[in-house]
């Protein structure tokens, strides 16, 4: 099994357990379920920088990135820095995240929050809404076309934005449909973990202009963003670059002011 298959295998067990503990009706009755969401796609369209900053404690490829910061401080720091939105990793086993991180970030900021998760079940989309997310991530590599359609339509019904992530042309072709808002190209090869911006460049012309283009992984410099902007990218997901510092908000602030 490669790492993605392993994560999905564990995720199915985890979601089955969560479903048995907390029924959908309970999620739908939560305070945040009825809150009005904020669109990340709109924020990116209207931005000149397009930064989506991430809260990430560790990853399978990098082990520990940062275990010492609290989520509210990171979220507030990012919002003050002027990022377009924040990605919050909620996977526990592989990334050290939790759904509560989403709640804590939501309590601290108004900006759009993305639930960064391996979504394999509609239940997780309802969960995302109940915990204060504005956006969900769908990963084409782990979903069928039918699942992408069902999941993205459910998200739209809940007024959540949908960011769909692809790694290659094949995934892109099976995924394009009107219920998506943003198409994210992940520059990391999930089998080898190698990162190349060429992936974003190659796929850019195949993404219809109806979708906001987002580039993910391996974006750690202003040069990388400047290199990708001519290809029509409006969003740039930056994970480790800010999180590996003592003050992610401060490093995001200086990054954005240099980018401008």
157, with CB counted inside 10 A (0-12, 13-18, 19+), is: exposed
Residue 13 CA to residue 102 CA, distance in Å, equals 21
* CA angle at 21 for the pair 16 and 26, rounded to the nearest 5°: 115
Q: Is 116 an active-site residue?
A: yes
Q: Is 198 an active-site residue?
A: no
| Choice among 11, 56, 213, 234 that is catalytic | 56
Residue ranges in 82-121 assigned as alpha helix (H):
99-108
Residue 180 CA to residue 163 CA, distance in Å, equals 7
Q: Is 216 an active-site residue?
A: yes
| Choice among 165, 175, 187, 234 that is catalytic | 165
| Choice among 186, 187, 200, 241 that is catalytic | 186
DSSP letter (8 states) at residue 142: G
Q: Is 76 an active-site residue?
A: no
| Choice among 11, 14, 54, 213 that is catalytic | 54
| Choice among 216, 234, 240, 251 that is catalytic | 216
Q: Is 42 an active-site residue?
A: no
Residue 50 CA to residue 58 CA, distance in Å, equals 24
Catalytic positions are 54, 56, 116, 165, 186, 216-217
């Amino acid at each position: 099994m490669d790492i993605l298959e392993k994560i999905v295998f564990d995720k199915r067990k985890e979601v089955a357990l969560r479903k048995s503990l907390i029924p959908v009706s309970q999620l739908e009755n939560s305070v945040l379920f009825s809150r009005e969401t904020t669109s990340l796609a709109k924020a990116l369209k209207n931005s000149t920088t397009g930064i989506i900053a991430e809260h990430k404690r560790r990853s399978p490829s990098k082990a520990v990135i940062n275990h010492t910061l609290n989520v509210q401080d990171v979220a507030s720091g990012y919002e003050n820095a002027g990022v377009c939105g924040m990605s919050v990793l909620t996977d526990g086993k592989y990334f050290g995240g939790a759904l509560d991180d989403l709640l804590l970030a939501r309590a601290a900021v108004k900006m759009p929050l993305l639930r960064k998760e391996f979504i394999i079940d509609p239940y997780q989309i309802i969960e995302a809404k109940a915990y204060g997310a504005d956006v969900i991530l769908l990963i084409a590599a782990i979903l069928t076309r039918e699942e992408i359609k069902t999941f993205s339509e459910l998200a739209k019904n809940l007024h959540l934005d949908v960011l769909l992530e692809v790694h290659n042309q094949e995934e892109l072709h099976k995924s394009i449909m009107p219920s998506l808002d943003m198409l994210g190209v992940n520059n990391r090869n999930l089998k080898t973990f190698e990162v190349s911006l060429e992936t974003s460049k190659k796929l850019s012309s195949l993404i219809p202009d109806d979708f906001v283009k987002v580039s993910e992984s391996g974006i750690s410099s202003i040069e990388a963003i400047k290199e990708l902007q001519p290809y029509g990218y409006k969003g740039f997901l930056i994970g480790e670059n800010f999180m590996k510092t003592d003050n992610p908000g401060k490093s995001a602030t200086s990054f954005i002011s240099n980018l401008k």
